[in-house]
Amino acid sequence: MSKLSCQEVLDQLWEYLDDEARAELSTRINEHLGGCRDCSVEVDSLRKTISLYRCEDSVPVPVQLNERLREALNRAYREGTHGQD
Ligand SMILES: [Zn+2]
């Protein structure tokens, strides 16, 4: 099993942060995060953003988020307390 690069980790973060992320992917990303401070910081801030997004009516989404991460945030938002519609 080859190691993930930072780009691969970032590409798959949206899936990793999704509740339905596959266990294997989580394990591999966790391994990478254990040795990569840059990605750990990124994941940490994304987690905080997502949890804020679940609790608040309007939280500005960082502009640097890519589309798939926005999608994950939107899904988190829909599944949160404001999911009625
Ligand atoms: Zn990394």
Say whether pTM exceeds 0.95: no
Say which DSSP state 64 is in: T
Residue 85 inside a domain? The answer is no
- Predicted confidence (pLDDT) per residue in 10-41, tens digit: 888 877 777 666 778 888 888 999 999 999 99
User: What is the domain count for the chain?
Assistant: 1
Residue 1 inside a domain? The answer is no
- Which residues form the domain of 10? 6-79
Q: Output the CA 30–ligand 1 centroid distance in Å.
A: 10
Q: Output the CA 31–ligand 1 centroid distance in Å.
A: 10
Q: How far apart are CA 26 and CA 15, in angstroms?
A: 9
Give me 47's structure tokens: 């987690």
Specify the amino acid at residue 49.
T
Q: Output the CA 84–ligand 1 centroid distance in Å.
A: 37
Residue 14 inside a domain? The answer is yes
- 82: confidence class by pLDDT, cuts 50, 70, 90: very low
Give me 26's structure tokens: 């989580």
Q: Output the CA 33–ligand 1 centroid distance in Å.
A: 6
**What's the CA dihedral at 28, 29, 35, 41 to 10 degrees?**
-170
